[in-house]
């Protein structure tokens, strides 16, 4: 198994530097058909979504398509594919950011009784607890 850094994953998705994109594609092609042979960390996944949204101005629809495409690639491995897909579904139907949903689910998975947040959307969706005055 190999791991991909955020900037490598960004080249693969955004295709904004043809020379680097070609090199990344070559690496991923070498693992085509080898299930779960290319690891994407939770951090890289969240950084990638944030960068695509903020710097590349991807729309929510485009981001959801990227997330769904990544989760469907048999070569890619994630710390928890089920959690990744659940976070994508929450993001698709909610108003908070992908990373917020992913973090809320990771907290729950870790056994947190509750998680404090200032994010009103997560609080409205009962995924976080407000900090009282």
Q: How far apart, in Å, are the Cα atoms of 116 and each of 8, 90, 125, 131?
A: 33, 19, 13, 6
Q: How far is 99 from 39, CA to CA, in rounded Å? A: 18
- Region(s) of the chain under CATH 3.40.50.1010: 1-79
Walk along the chain (133 residues) in steps of 10 and give the mean pLDDT of each run.
96 96 94 92 97 98 98 95 97 94 94 88 87 75
Q: What pLDDT does 90 receive?
A: 96
Residue 104, classified by CB atoms within 10 Å of its CB into exposed (0-12), middle (13-18) or buried (19+), is: buried
The class level of CATH for 1-79 reads alpha beta
Could you tell me the pTM of the whole model?
0.89
């Amino acid at each position: 198994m190999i791991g991909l850094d955020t900037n490598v994953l960004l080249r693969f998705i955004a295709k904004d530097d043809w020379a680097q994109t070609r090199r990344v594609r070559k690496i991923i092609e070498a693992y085509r058909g080898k299930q779960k042979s290319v690891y994407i960390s939770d951090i890289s996944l969240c950084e990638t979504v944030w960068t695509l949204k903020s710097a590349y101005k991807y729309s929510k629809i485009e981001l959801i398509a990227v997330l769904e495409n990544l989760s469907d690639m048999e070569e890619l491995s994630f710390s928890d594919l089920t959690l990744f897909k659940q976070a994508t579904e929450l993001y698709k139907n909610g108003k908070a950011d992908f990373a917020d949903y992913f973090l809320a689910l990771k907290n729950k998975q870790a056994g947190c009784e509750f998680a404090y947040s200032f994010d009103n959307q997560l609080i409205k969706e009962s995924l976080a607890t407000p900090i009282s005055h």
